[in-house]
Structure 1
Amino acid sequence: MSTMASKSSSNCLSSEKTSPQLVFILQTGGKKSKDVQTQIRKHVMKDIGKSRRKEKRGRKIELEVHPVAPSQPKDNVSPTRIWSRNQLNTDQINSTIEEPYIATTTPDSSFGSMPDGVDASKTTVPHLQGDLHDILQPAIGWHQATAFSPGIDRLWTGRMDPFVRYPVELSDRTRELVDLAFDDRYVNVGPFRDACLPVGMMDPAAFHQVLSNALLNISCRRADISPETNDCMKHHALAVKSVNERITDPKLSISDGFIGAIIGFACYYSYTGNQAAWRMHLQGVEDIIRMRGGIHTLDNNKLVRMLLGWSDIGGCSIEDSPPIFPLPVRLLPNQNSLRPCPQISPQAFHIFRSWISRFPNHLQTLDTLRFVSRFSSHLKVEAINTNRRIFSDGDFGTGYMFPLLHQCLSLPRHNPDVNEIDGAILQAARLACTLFLAELKRMFGINAVNSTLQTQKLRGYLESSKGHWGELQVLRLWCFAMGGIESLGPLRDWYAQELRVEGAMLGLYTWTAIENEVKSIIWFDECHTPLFVELGLGIKGSSGLNALGGRS
């Protein structure tokens, strides 16, 4: 007897199963029967046969896909909280291979059109419209707001779509960096991610520079490493090389993608603190735009136009200089679409009335104060209604904060129709508005915000106008608060001391009373209150003064 086969005088087959994987075969006689041979092949040679088989190639697999129609809002639901002004179907992005879809506000744009069967008149939703009654209403579902907003589609693991044709050949390392740099599941890269990557898809140099800037943005958030990492500098160098190789081409050198690459260079140097290089590259963009025929030739490409505006405003904010390029008015919503302030404090009302009486010919600065107050009030409501997702909405940032910053920087630096004292008051109010918006820019994920020059200039204007503010004394107190929040080092201590002195002159003998007074003018609690409390603690800790009692 054998576990495999044994010889005997006659053939007889029997089997006994001792386990599911073990079979005993008994054979008698000299000749093997077919049943025994089949059983041997079945149980002995099966695994060997599998290992010898070659995998078939070119096998076709059919997948049945069931399209799901996007849910439509009910007729009786107001769309006031659906932020995206340029609605884009995500299937359109996936189907684009040769050239990425660029969202624009004009239906006849040469850069993209709505998909077949989609009514363009129904895809644009009024942006943040409504009256005071809307403040008390709950927010419309967040899924409705994001279902139509333009974005970068990802696979189920969060990685970028590997079937998209990129303008450069991607290595495994580059794919990893793209996944890291543009995936906010791992790091908050700000609200302009969905604008930067489509611009990078237009041109090889723009792609490398957009990736470099995204990596630079991430490293700026990590205080333990240098902002300029090896990967960041590598892709910046590749972008520079690509531009230098093609700059003599008369068509490519004035294309939207090429301009996007130069704007990316300007952003890079603004992040790294090289203002001279930032201005040089923006002047280069200005020359290219002049060769194209004017700034209006970029209005058909909203994303490039907006990135140019942010780079312009970001660098000019650091230098406190007027913007280089005008506002893209037809691409922006009306500022009046912001909710009106639910109520105005007596202090703010007193300031507005006193301003009109003292500066009747300088109401543009007063309008800036009014719109900054309205923007802050509206943002508070949206932060609550959206569970703070408003700070990741690039359309909101470019649509409302962008024009406010542009307006602050565009106010005149010299006013020949007023005396030196009144001119200093006008400049102090302008700078305080800019400093108020600086912290909000950081909340929107913008890192390259440097207010050193503004805080120094504000100190000079406040010192030269001391004792001449009259009915605007409360506004002067607010200017001190904005300067103190944004300043550092000894200058911060100076602002804190002056706040205490100014507060005492107004009958405010506690730091809490001073805080309540400045909050009644223009304030955003989430970012300004912690910094103001820290400013008060600095007085008590560093100078030995009793900040709470207002006495030395």
Structure 2
Amino acid sequence: MDRSAKPIFNFVNLSHPDELKDEQTQLRIRRLAMSEVGRARRKPKTKRGKTEIVLKFREPAESSASIGHLGAGDVDPFALYPIDLDEKSRALVASIFRANSAHSRQLRGAWWPVGLSGVATFYNVLANARLFQLKELTGAFVQKSDSLSLSMQSHAIRAMRERMQDAKHHASDETIGAVGSFMCHYYVLGNFVGWDHHRDAIARMVGMRGGVDNITDESLRITISWADLVGSFSQDIPSIVALPERWQASSRSPPGSPRPLNNISLQWKQRFPALMDWVTIFDDIDQLIMLDRGFTEKDKHLAETTGCWMEPTMVRLLAIRPLNNGSDAGHVMEEVCRFGTMLFLAPIWRWLGASPVWTFTLTRSLISVLHGYMIDWGELKPLLVWTVYFAALETRDTQERSQFAFMLAVLMSGMRVREWDELIQVVKSVLWVDRIFSSSDESIRDEVVSILRLPGTGDVTPVLEEIEGDEA
């Protein structure tokens, strides 16, 4: 075959199908095409062969996200979206899957398919994506929507109203998913009046279906529990949705797994052998951390898809209410430890991809309990130090932070702990994850140490009596 008759291939490398819309790209393709047409005209007709222009999608740079699997790319050109994406909505979708995005990754493998299931739900996904964009711009979660987020939510409300005009859709999977998306929207904003309203609505809809077990779509089932859990945690109220099967399987370590020897746990059981609700959860958390559950790449992938041990553990902590059983020392200490455990787990939850994790109700309630009861902690005082330490890290209220810092200084003085490093060892003796908390003390250390150096701080007996009761 004559070489001049062979087809000539010209490659145009693209990283995304949208680049076909670029004027410079189109001009380049036309020039290549016309040059080949001209070359063909100069050859004898009997020798003319076909000319092909190949559009090759190159692999993106490492800093870019690919679309090879769920959650890895900017905008999947092959996905079926419930709406036609314009420039703004395409950018919002891209922000969800960008590697360094502030958007919540937790259970994205569940709520993203639900988001694609209907128009109202998808518009709420876009509204939420905008809230996370605003977090990136301001450095903190906003508690008020901007015009773009409001516009997306308005579309969601309009689509929801249209759907609710037909009674057969009142308790459908798509409608329940849409209500769940509203719950998530108000949760991100920290608006729990709106969250409570939609939680009541979803409870009625699930009741119309005959119970949550009749929702067989796994993604929707997990999303309902997630929407319920995050708002319940933020307000410290019991979750009303039973655990999905996936979560039940992750809630405890496999039978026969080794148990760590924790002196604090043993001391609790010796002092309060009848109070096992909190310490049982504490033991499970200690074991899961020892087994490195939730901290490997495989476990982080599970956290982003169907959930890990964190969600069922939070549900268990929200379910127990020690003060409902009495106000004696054991029940009060159990309540304080319940707060401490949730405040300890909150940063781990964020590390696994949950965002936001609101803890202002927990820190406020903890202060109320600590000031409301005089308790002799005795040999279990490390539990009090551990709780106050993580409360000091979690609070965003400057007045609360000062109170927790002062409590830590008082506890250090009362325990004859002279150095900050000694206090950290006390905290670590209870429960600790070094890869998450290794430098956490930097944010509170100076404030506590400065309190200890104030003249007159050595006489802490009145404050100790308020915090610890008769022991002081």
TM over 0.5: yes
- The answer to whether structure 1 residue 213 and structure 2 residue 122 are counterparts is no
Give the 3 Å change call, closer, same or farther, for CA 447–545 of structure 1 in structure 2.
farther
Q: Quote the residue 1:407 is aligned against.
A: 316
SS at match of 2:112: helix
| Residues 120 and 156 in structure 2, CA contact (< 8 A), matched pair in contact too | yes
Q: CA deviation at 1:465?
A: 4.2
* CA distance, structure 2, for counterparts of residue 481 and residue 185 of structure 1: 29
Q: CA deviation at 1:472?
A: 1.5
Q: Quote the residue 2:96 is aligned against.
A: 181
Give the 3 Å change call, closer, same or farther, for CA 382–357 of structure 1 in structure 2.
closer
Aligned ranges 1:77-476 → 2 under 5 Å: 151-152=69-70, 158-184=73-99, 189-223=104-138, 227=142, 228-298=145-215, 300-329=216-245, 332-334=248-250, 335-337=252-254, 343-344=260-261, 348-349=262-263, 351-379=264-292, 383=295, 386=297, 390-391=299-300, 393-394=302-303, 398-416=307-325, 418-476=326-384
Q: CA deviation at 1:546?
A: 6.7
Give the 3 Å change call, closer, same or farther, for CA 509–406 of structure 1 in structure 2.
same
| Residues 189 and 218 in structure 1, CA contact (< 8 A), matched pair in contact too | no
* CA distance, structure 1, for counterparts of residue 306 and residue 454 of structure 2: 40
| Residues 539 and 546 in structure 1, CA contact (< 8 A), matched pair in contact too | no
* CA distance, structure 2, for counterparts of residue 359 and residue 206 of structure 1: 48
| Residues 352 and 366 in structure 1, CA contact (< 8 A), matched pair in contact too | yes
Deviations 1:254-294 (A, max 9, x none): 22122111111011111112101101101100101111111
Q: Quote the residue 2:442 is aligned against.
A: 533
| Residues 424 and 464 in structure 1, CA contact (< 8 A), matched pair in contact too | no
Deviations 1:428-471 (A, max 9, x none): 01111111111112212322222122112212323344451223
Could you tell me which amino acid in structure 1 is paired with residue 269 of structure 2? I
Give the 3 Å change call, closer, same or farther, for CA 162–317 of structure 1 in structure 2.
same
* CA distance, structure 2, for counterparts of residue 261 and residue 443 of structure 1: 27
Q: CA deviation at 1:319?
A: 1.2
| Residues 333 and 399 in structure 1, CA contact (< 8 A), matched pair in contact too | no
Structure 1 or 2: more helix by fraction: 2
Give the paired residue count: 399
| Residues 408 and 448 in structure 2, CA contact (< 8 A), matched pair in contact too | no
Q: CA deviation at 1:48?
A: 13
Q: CA deviation at 1:153?
A: 7.4
Deviations 1:349-386 (A, max 9, x none): 2x22222233222211111111222233344x764x54
Deviations 1:17-38 (A, max 9, x none): xxxxxxxxxxxxxxxxxxxxxx
* CA distance, structure 1, for counterparts of residue 178 and residue 148 of structure 2: 17
Q: CA deviation at 1:392?
A: 5.3
Give the 3 Å change call, closer, same or farther, for CA 404–339 of structure 1 in structure 2.
farther
| Residues 209 and 236 in structure 1, CA contact (< 8 A), matched pair in contact too | yes
Q: CA deviation at 1:174?
A: 2.4
| Residues 421 and 468 in structure 1, CA contact (< 8 A), matched pair in contact too | yes
Give the 3 Å change call, closer, same or farther, for CA 161–60 of structure 1 in structure 2.
farther
- The answer to whether structure 1 residue 503 and structure 2 residue 416 are counterparts is no
SS at match of 1:450: coil
| Residues 265 and 281 in structure 1, CA contact (< 8 A), matched pair in contact too | yes
TM-score (norm 2): 0.75
Larger Rg: 1
Q: Quote the residue 1:126 is aligned against.
A: none
* CA distance, structure 2, for counterparts of residue 462 and residue 153 of structure 1: 43
TM-score (norm 1): 0.65
| Residues 392 and 404 in structure 2, CA contact (< 8 A), matched pair in contact too | yes
Q: CA deviation at 1:511?
A: 1.0
SS at match of 1:269: helix
- The answer to whether structure 1 residue 480 and structure 2 residue 396 are counterparts is no
Give the 3 Å change call, closer, same or farther, for CA 453–187 of structure 1 in structure 2.
closer
* CA distance, structure 1, for counterparts of residue 69 and residue 110 of structure 2: 8
* CA distance, structure 1, for counterparts of residue 116 and residue 71 of structure 2: 14
Q: CA deviation at 1:182?
A: 2.7
SS at match of 1:362: coil
* CA distance, structure 1, for counterparts of residue 333 and residue 306 of structure 2: 29
SS at match of 1:398: coil
Could you tell me which amino acid in structure 2 is paired with residue 191 of structure 1? Q
| Residues 151 and 194 in structure 1, CA contact (< 8 A), matched pair in contact too | no
* CA distance, structure 1, for counterparts of residue 91 and residue 232 of structure 2: 34
* CA distance, structure 2, for counterparts of residue 223 and residue 167 of structure 1: 30
SS at match of 2:241: coil
- Unaligned runs of at least 5 residues, structure 1: 1-44, 51-58, 64-149
* CA distance, structure 1, for counterparts of residue 362 and residue 104 of structure 2: 26
| Residues 263 and 307 in structure 1, CA contact (< 8 A), matched pair in contact too | yes
2:433 pairs with one of 494, 513, 524: 524
* CA distance, structure 2, for counterparts of residue 505 and residue 186 of structure 1: 45
